[in-house]
Amino acid sequence: MEDLLRPIYQERASDSNTLGVLLIEKTRPNSPITDNFDVILLIIVEKSDIQWHVKHYEFDDKTAAMHIVTNELLRKWIDTSGYRKAIAWLTYGKVIFDRNEYIADFKEQIRDFPHDKRNLRKAIEFGKLVKSYSEVKDLYESSQYKDAYSRIVNSLHYLARLAVIEKGYHPEVTVWNQVRQIDPEVYKLYDELIQSNEELDKRVQLMILATDFVISNRARVSAKHLLDVLKEKDESWSYGELKDHPLVEPYALDLTAMLAYLVEKGIVQTERLRTKGTGVYQRKYRMEE
């Protein structure tokens, strides 16, 4: 298969703008990592007018997809989990061209997973987790038990990804296999939800209580990235100031849910600022004293 694709990637490899080329082959009948293509050709370039360009091919009853991605976008995907397959491509892909050991160095950086990048990823997953968990409670209180069950499964998935990141690893597509090995507490929650013989509403109720305990214990560590931003100045922050902060941008859509949870748990304090409206105050946020 590589021989058939060689003319395509050799043309790219001869371009000085190309940093590396990886080949990822389908190894199972159903392959989410390759989007069920028989092979993925990942070509990483330094610069391009189009940050992500994709072409699909057919040959000898096989299918292939070529992804041309800029270095900037690929690193953003890795740092923010913007495209989860990217980690698997870099981890398991066969390197067929590597200019100046670019891919080797990139893989080493992924294995190291420095604390600043880890804290960002934890904040992103924590934001999704508390938002999903809030939706679970609302659905449960509205007696929408099937929807609440669906959302609690999603919440546990975010919690699983958070647990993996806390241990210094990048979450993979098969995240529960990772969690079973490195965080039995979180895995047990998922196992109890799935295996329980209780009625659906009772299962969700018990899981809400258990999940709240686990989230609460991890909140301060998980939200460290946001808490560090709050510490950047002594004064309180308006919501708009936080939302527009460049470091917060990757999880800005979940910022409201994060702040609400952190305020509820007493980790973040609120202040009221007078406005021109009588009895109307602007709400601002600061770290606990």
Look at the block and give the residue holding tokens 């880890």. 118
* The pLDDT of residue 1 is above 80: no
Cα dist from 205 to 28, 198, 201, whole Å? 38, 10, 6
Q: 244 by DSSP, 3-state: which?
A: coil
pLDDT value at residue 231 = 95
pLDDT, the chain, mean: 92
* The pLDDT of residue 177 is above 90: no
* The pLDDT of residue 9 is above 90: no
CATH topology of domain 115-287: Four Helix Bundle (Hemerythrin (Met), subunit A) (1.20.120)
DSSP state letters, 83-149:
STHHHHHHHHPEEEEEGGGHHHHHHHHHHH--HHHHHHHHHHHHHHHHHHHHHHHHHHHTT-HHHHH
* The pLDDT of residue 2 is above 80: no
Q: What predicted TM-score, i.e. pTM, was given to this entire model?
A: 0.88
pLDDT value at residue 175 = 86
- Please report, for the chain, the start and end positions of each structural domain, with discontinuous segments joined by +: 2-112, 115-287
Fold match flag (2-112 vs 115-287): no
Q: Name the CATH architecture for the domain at 2-112.
A: 2-Layer Sandwich (3.30)
> Which DSSP symbol is given to 265?
T
The predicted-structure confidence for 53-86, as pLDDT tens digits, reads as follows 999 999 888 899 999 999 999 999 999 988 888 9
